[in-house]
Structure 1
Amino acid sequence: MNNEQIPELFRDEYTEYIYDVTCFGEPINPDNADDVTSGISRAIELEARPVFLEGVSARLTQLGVPCSAEDNELMLTEVKRRYKEILGFSCPRTVQEWIKGTTPGVTNRRNHYDLCYALEMDFQQTAVFFQKHYLTMPFNVKSNVDAVFMYALYHKKPYSAVTELLDKSKGFVSQENAHTSTSQIISTILDIDDDEKFLRYLSEHCYNNEQQFQLARSIISDEIETVRSILLRYEADRILNSERLGSLTIEALLGVKYQGSGKKNKDSKLPKRFTESLPNDVTLGKIINGDVASYDLLRKTLMLLKFYNFYYEAENNDPNTIGGNLMDFYEELNSVLISCGFAQLYVRHPFDCLLLYCANSYDPIDTLYCVIQNGRN
């Protein structure tokens, strides 16, 4: 999805301080324990922010129901009313729990879109809400549900049309040999303003998980090869076989050796949104082999690889150079994320914030290692 289709996430009252102080303030020193713990503390503070409820309350206020993120009962009453009047059915228990304070999950994206419809958001408002308040990507058009909602929102269809389109597309079968790019699918869907033509096109462009995010998987594979070429140059004595090379790749990205699920540190000091879906030997192998991989895993793996390869060669010797490199890295990474259809960099996401915090240092890679190690101790 390109810049013309999804609006840029501009700075706002929530992000200005994070940009100026946490991500683009004075460069940090990985040898200074206070600098490392300060970054972790700020990310934990972000994790505790009710970003979803802040988005809902802001939207309801725009719609004439003044409220704040703490007004759960008021928001719940209004959202329930809107589900009944606009969507024609009762607000699901899952969404009610979100309004009460539970973090929205990622499994049933129809709930996410339905709430946006209930809050009378348009195409661009929905795209921004997904990235800023659900903290995930909007419009994964290789999924039927996402494709239907993107089509309906872009062409300003009523919710009754959404329901009909979803019902008619339920039986569509994944096309194993279909390889149309995401950008081409988006462009075509946005050009179609006829429900039957849209359904015919959608029936020919259904994809399972393994067929999604092909550009991201391709870029990840290329970036892995770059990491491995570095390892073969400087760590040849530690590489005994291909499996060992895989372990060293993870060690290069995270600064720690792979640990199986049974050895995870349950007392991690790092935010959950940072630690969940980090790559390991097994999941990296799944990505390389084209197996099922979650969006969060793919996005974080891509970001870590770009971070390592960019800063392995960079010289961060003085504040001006650090700032210039950081801006270059930010723009390069954001461009890649957008080209893959992923959520843009957003400094209120604890993972994005901590990665940029580490980039703003005299040794970004070592700073990331220190952050992860500190969080595990």
Structure 2
Amino acid sequence: MRDRYEVPGDFTKQKIDEFWDTHYDSDDDDYGDIIDYLNTAENFRTFDEGLTEFIKKHGYVEEDGLSKEKCIKQRVTFLLKKMKEKNISISKKTLEYHFSGEKRPDVKDSSRKIIFKLCFAMDLDVEETTDFFNKIYFDRTFNVKNIDELVYYFCIKNKKSFTYAEELIKKVKNLLAEDSAEASSELVYTNSIREKADVFTTEEELIRYVLDNKNAFNRYNVTAIKEYTNLLNRIQGKKEDKEVLDRLSKVKTNREHDDLKKCGLVVQDFYKNNLSELTTNMDIASVDFMLYVIYGSFLPVGKNGKSKYSFAKNAKLLKIIKSNFPSKKTISDANKEAISFEAMRKILILLEFYAFCFDANEADDDECIDFFDDFKDQMNDILDSSGMGPLYVGNPYDWLFLYCAKCDNPLDVFRSIIDDVCALDDEN
């Protein structure tokens, strides 16, 4: 429901209204209008538009009728003045690039630091900083298992300057390097650190906590990996599942059907829906098989004549959707716990969406399921516990899953869209 999005800003409210008021005729399984919408960058706020909105909320006034070049110059001048007052350094060239709208900044550590500098320069509080990261930058905010970002959180919450934050970071890291005391080996989760940081009012409290729990820092995605592992264990096939399928091909008794319920969800899905014979010789315990069943087809990869093609290169979707789209590679990275926050978040959304769709299809007819709200609430619980931002209708990747979730047959719609965007043509 619309009111399930908490206190939306003007842009978010506009996106919510569009989301609920726009309907596409998909009776003939033609999702061209959906794909066109997802491919139109203007339907989603660009980074420069979001940054401009924020500086307008914090003192910037723009003259009417200016050319794009003059608007960029005015905006850059405003921020440079703000940063000079606060002794924050971001190059004029970097600001011009961010306001140009040419490309959304990546989510590397160096870019995250620039985003935090912008937040300090605009005097954003914790809530505004979180909004800026989640709704403009499209990445998690305040990774408090990182010493730098824990300090940024402490300083923004307690209205300390960026200069103060940088000096405190150096102090904490120097003390950590000198500290030889044995630290607690107890596993500390992100939310626990955040809760502790909420009550710190002095740097001494912060420093003492870091020294006492130094092994907890710089080990990321602990809760997210746990959530991912739980989902993967439910969904992915197992070697022994093949024996169940073999028995079911010969005899169909209650015992075999009870055994089928113990198989991975994709194996159950494969059996019940009699998916393509292309999977006949596939390893049902493999990631390839799992993704094939979830997507309903193989994501394109290989060669078409002399041209190489892949989902990341050729799928007819905005780059921000295709970037780190769940694949064999990102699943492998997750299994090695060497994965970016963006990639992990996208995997969690895909796997939870699939599991939720499967469970909804298996539910008794008299079991009332409000698919959209129930999925969104359950998904947001997982994201929140993992220290990640909730589903956001202004994020194109999230929009895809939210749209499917409001349809009558969410998984079928999702698979049809994926199949359509993967269709290769001469233009790609």
Q: Same fold (TM over 0.5)?
A: yes
CA contact (8 A) 2:326 2:350 kept: no
Partner in structure 2 of residue 154 of structure 1: 157
Structure 1 position 214, deviation (Å): 1.3
Partner in structure 2 of residue 106 of structure 1: 107
CA distance in 1, matches of 2:87, 2:55: 16
Partner in structure 1 of residue 327 of structure 2: 280
Partner in structure 1 of residue 209 of structure 2: 201
Which amino acid counterpart does residue 137 of structure 2 have in structure 1?
Answer: Y
Q: Which runs of 5+ in 1 are unaligned?
A: 1-7
Q: 1:329 to 1:360 in 2, by over 3 A?
A: same
Which amino acid counterpart does residue 166 of structure 2 have in structure 1?
Answer: T
Q: Aligned Cα RMSD in Å? A: 3.2
CA contact (8 A) 1:30 1:363 kept: no
Partner in structure 2 of residue 232 of structure 1: 267
Structure 1 position 258, deviation (Å): 5.4
Partner in structure 1 of residue 253 of structure 2: none
Which amino acid counterpart does residue 273 of structure 1 have in structure 2?
Answer: I
- Structure with higher RCO (Cα < 8 A, 6+ apart): 1
- Spell out, residue by residue over 1:341-363, the C-alpha distance to the aligned partner (whole angstroms, 9 max, x if none): 10111111100011111122222
Q: 1:157 to 1:12 in 2, by over 3 A?
A: closer
What SS does the corresponding residue of 2:11 show, helix, strand or coil? coil
Which of 113, 122, 125 is residue 119 of structure 1 equivalent to? 122
CA distance in 1, matches of 2:105, 2:384: 23
Which of 131, 147, 170 is residue 134 of structure 2 equivalent to? 131
Count of residue correspondences: 362
Task: Point out the more displaced range, 54-63 or 16-25.
Answer: 16-25
Match status 1:94 vs 2:97? no
What SS does the corresponding residue of 1:87 show, helix, strand or coil? coil
Match status 1:56 vs 2:59? no
Structure 1 position 154, deviation (Å): 0.9
Q: 1:205 to 1:250 in 2, by over 3 A?
A: farther
CA contact (8 A) 1:27 1:361 kept: no
Q: Which runs of 5+ in 2 are unaligned?
A: 178-182, 237-263, 272-276, 303-307, 424-428
Task: Point out the more displaced range, 348-357 or 321-330.
Answer: 321-330
CA contact (8 A) 2:267 2:284 kept: no
Structure 1 position 242, deviation (Å): 6.1
Match status 1:291 vs 2:342? no
What SS does the corresponding residue of 1:139 show, helix, strand or coil? coil
CA distance in 2, matches of 1:148, 1:43: 37
Match status 1:39 vs 2:80? no
Match status 1:248 vs 2:325? no
CA distance in 1, matches of 2:44, 2:350: 24
Which of 354, 367, 374 is residue 400 of structure 2 equivalent to? 354
Which of 158, 163, 166 is residue 169 of structure 2 equivalent to? 166
CA contact (8 A) 1:322 1:360 kept: no
Partner in structure 2 of residue 12 of structure 1: 9
- Spell out, residue by residue over 1:249-278, the C-alpha distance to the aligned partner (whole angstroms, 9 max, x if none): 112333332566864142321111111112
Identity of aligned residues (%): 22
Partner in structure 2 of residue 223 of structure 1: 231
What SS does the corresponding residue of 1:138 show, helix, strand or coil? coil
Q: 1:170 to 1:243 in 2, by over 3 A?
A: farther
Structure 1 position 283, deviation (Å): 2.5
Structure 1 position 294, deviation (Å): 0.8
CA distance in 2, matches of 1:214, 1:124: 24
Q: 1:20 to 1:63 in 2, by over 3 A?
A: closer
What SS does the corresponding residue of 1:365 show, helix, strand or coil? helix
Partner in structure 2 of residue 342 of structure 1: 388
CA contact (8 A) 1:131 1:138 kept: yes
CA distance in 2, matches of 1:196, 1:52: 37
Q: Which has the larger radius of gyration?
A: 2
Partner in structure 2 of residue 3 of structure 1: none
CA distance in 1, matches of 2:23, 2:370: 13
Q: 1:358 to 1:176 in 2, by over 3 A?
A: farther
Structure 1 position 51, deviation (Å): 3.2
Which amino acid counterpart does residue 105 of structure 2 have in structure 1?
Answer: P
Match status 1:67 vs 2:62? yes
Structure 1 position 301, deviation (Å): 0.6
Q: 1:110 to 1:41 in 2, by over 3 A?
A: same
Task: Point out the more displaced range, 190-199 or 60-69.
Answer: 60-69
